[in-house]
Amino acid sequence: MKSKILILLILLPLGAFAQEKYLEVNAQVQNVGVFKTDSDFDDTKPYYNPSGQTVGFFGTFFRPAITLNVKDIINIYYEIEVGLNIWSRNSLEQLYGETKDTLSLKHRQIYAEGKLSKNLSFRMGYQYFKEPTGLFINHWLGGMRFGLENDFIPLDIFIGQFPDQTYEGWEIDRNNFTQDRFVFSVSGTKKIGEWNFEPGIVWFYDGVYVRKQMWLLTPVLSMNRKEKEWEAGIDIVFEGGRTNHGAYDGDDETHAGGALQVYYLNGLAMEGFGTAVGGKVVPGMTEKNGYKFGWGVSLLLLSPDDHLYHNGTNFGVFYSGRSRSHTLILTEDELRDRGDNLDERSGEKGTFYLMRAGLAILDGSVYYKVTDKIMLSGIAGNAFVLNKRNALGEVYFGTEFDVVLRWMLSSHIVIDLVNSAFVPGKAASAFVNDIDKEKQIPQYMLEASLNAFF
């Protein structure tokens, strides 16, 4: 009898604790197929060409996310991505990590969040973070984030580190802060009249390269206004900083670049187009708000450098690779990002994309609900470089056309069919073509996606 009472006394607190916590599970499974007539705009046949000129694959992407809530005090969040795994390359028969053809796996977010007081919240761990515009910092990284509520302007404070490849020893006690990448950001939100203002300032330090430490101090401002029928906004970025011994003659290099983004969305366009990142796995166009038609326009300007490389001044912007443009070839394909968008391919890849030629992208989109479950979209985008001397003397980058059919089978299953074409200019060929920089062969793309989520 005593043993039964003892067991009951042990289980009662555990049962009470179990009632005070709950587990929330979200998941997304996407099967996608892509066919492109070429990876560049040059039909010259290379001497060694086992794969042919075309690009094509079928693949599967899986993203589960788990949130553990304990007594409404703290949340523990875990999100992973399995894929995109290509059916013809990634094998289920292989042991994970043993060979290159095993399934790819990314641990995206692992953090704890909660409230330290009534006005102070926190989030610590690996997380998705972007500054107010998303044009500069828009990454997954480890960090500490604090939210400070007040009556004047609520603040968002972030301190984090970018991962780097600098060898500092396998043991933890060999690691140090000397050759790391840091980011510190402070931003706020303030409504003035009908407009929301999100000012911020971001400090970035890169100590990875010996004797070539770089720092950037970046004021940012996002302004937006959202009404029932329309939404508009402006994003502004200015980057100023220095790289020690960054010039060819050994002197320091000064950085002064910037970016501007302007957008307007009307009606159906306000619901977005692609799949959001950062744990939100529900694709756009799912709200039943009665809109039958919509349209949107956006303009993206990325500042260029002068034509002298490492001459002591750099005016090219360090760009995250993510913008509000709805184009699928010129910018990130939000149905499933593959890293082959042309804005990124025209930049020098590092922690960010350094846009030495600059870039201007103007795009427009229209949306029409054929039925309650079927929507037809059209997208057109035009792009130019802003310094032709960094693009083999060419200005015209190219024009893109997209037609997208979205079919919502249910509130949890969405099918997308995409037909795209890109007519390149010589500026795009200068960055993308490997053999003949003068060729301008149009590129066509077919894409199909089945997205299941809950």
What is the reported pTM? 0.88
| In-domain check, residue 4 | no
Closest CA to 376 of 437, 260, 452, 293: 293
**What is the model's pLDDT at position 13?**
46
Residue 80 lies in a domain: yes
Go through the chain and tell me how many residues it has.
Answer: 454
Q: What is residue 18's predicted lDDT score, i.e. its pLDDT? A: 45
| DSSP characters over 412-425 | TEEEEEEEEEEEE-
Secondary structure class of 10 (helix, strand, coil): helix
- 433 lies in a domain? yes
Question: DSSP class of residue 346?
Answer: T
Q: SS3 string of 12-79?
A: HHHHHHHHHEEEEEEEEEEEEEEEECCCCCCCCCCCCCCCCCCEEEEEEEEEEEEEEEECCCEEEEEE
Q: Is residue 20 part of a domain?
A: no
In-domain check, residue 12: no
Preceding peptide of 268 cis, ω within 30°: no
Tokens of 3: 């043993």
Q: Would you say residue 343 lies in a domain? A: yes
- The first and second tokens of residue 380, run together, are 């057109």
Can you give the pLDDT at residue 20?
A: 52
Residue written as tokens 């912007």? Answer: 317
Residue 280 tokens read as: 């939100």
Domain membership of residue 281 as a residue range: 26-453
Residues 293, 267: contact at Cβ < 8 Å? yes
| Cα–Cα distance measured from residue 201 to residue 186, given in angstroms and rounded to the nearest whole number | 6
State residue 379's pLDDT score. Answer: 94
Distance in angstroms (rounded) separating the CA atoms of residues 293 and 261: 24
Q: Tell me the C-alpha distance between 227 and 214, whole Å.
A: 42
Number of domains the chain is built from:
1
Q: Which amino acid is at 322?
A: R
And the tokens for 112?
Answer: 């704890």
Rama region for 392: left / alpha / beta (φ>0; ψ in -120 to 50; rest): left
pLDDT-flagged residues of the chain (< 70): 1-21, 46-52, 96-99, 164-174, 270-290
Partnered with residue 33 across adjacent β-strands are 58, 448
- Write the pLDDT tens digit of every residue in 264-309: 998 877 665 543 333 333 344 444 456 788 899 999 999 999 998 8
- Kindly state whether residue 10 falls inside one of the protein's structural domains: no
Amino acid at 334: E
- Report yes or no: 412 and 453 within 8 Å, Cβ to Cβ: yes
CATH number at residue 293: 2.40.160.100
Characterize the bridge pairing of strands 348-349 and 317-319: unpaired
DSSP class of residue 304 equals P
Does the residue 17 lie in any domain?
Answer: no
What pLDDT is recorded for position 10?
A: 36
Nearest one of 197, 259, 286, 294 to 386, comparing CA atoms: 259
Task: Round the CA-based radius of gyration of the chain to a whole number and report it.
Answer: 24
pLDDT of residue 155: 94
pLDDT for the residue numbered 173 = 66
